[in-house]
Amino acid sequence: MSEPMLYDEHQVLKRLKLRATELHDLLNVGIIAPVARRSRDPLYCARTTDALATDYHHTRLGCVIWWDFDLRRPSFLPPHIEWSPPDVPFYPFDNEEQQSWARRYYKLKKACAPFPYPYPERLARYRSRMKEKATRAFERKHGIKRPRKSRDIEVRIRGTSVKIGRAKLRDLVWSKTMIRAAADLGIKETALRFLCKRYQIPMPTRGHFNWKDPKKRPPKPALPPPKRKNSAGRNE
Give per-residue pLDDT as tens, 49-72.
888 888 877 777 776 676 554 445
Binned at pLDDT 50, 70 and 90, residue 11 comes out as: very high
* The predicted structure's pLDDT at residue 13: 92
**Contact predicate 192/185, CB 8 Å:** yes
Strand duo 41-45 + 160-164: pairing: unpaired
- From first CA to last CA, the distance across the chain in angstroms is 39
Please give the average per-residue pLDDT across 4-21, as a whole number. 89
Query: What is each CA distance from 26 to 45, 60, 84, 127, 140, in whole angstroms?
Result: 15, 11, 21, 10, 24
Considering just the CA atoms, what is the radius of gyration of the chain in Å?
Answer: 26
Q: Where are the alpha helices (DSSP H) in 1-95?
A: 9-16, 20-29, 46-51, 55-65
27-40 pLDDT, tens per residue? 887 778 888 888 78
The whole-angstrom separation of Cα 157 and Cα 79 is 69
* The predicted structure's pLDDT at residue 14: 92
| Cβ count near 74 (within 10 Å) | 16
Residue 22 pLDDT exceeds 70: yes
pTM: 0.53
113-140 pLDDT, tens per residue? 777 778 888 888 888 887 787 777 777 7
164-220 pLDDT, tens per residue? 888 888 899 999 998 999 888 888 888 888 888 888 889 988 888 888 787 888 888
**Contact predicate 153/164, CB 8 Å:** yes
- Beta partners for residue 35, in sequence order: none
Please give the average per-residue pLDDT across 84-111, as a whole number. 63
pLDDT more than 70, % of the chain: 75
* The predicted structure's pLDDT at residue 10: 92
- Estimate to the nearest angstrom the gap between the alpha carbon of 34 and the chain centroid: 12
Taking CA 144 as the corner, what is the angle to CA 140 and CA 150, rounded to the nearest 5 degrees?
A: 110
Q: How many CA atoms lie within 13 A of 38 on its CB side?
A: 6
**Contact predicate 174/214, CB 8 Å:** no
For helices 189-198 and 166-173, angle between their N-to-C axes, nearest 10 degrees: 130
* The predicted structure's pLDDT at residue 48: 81
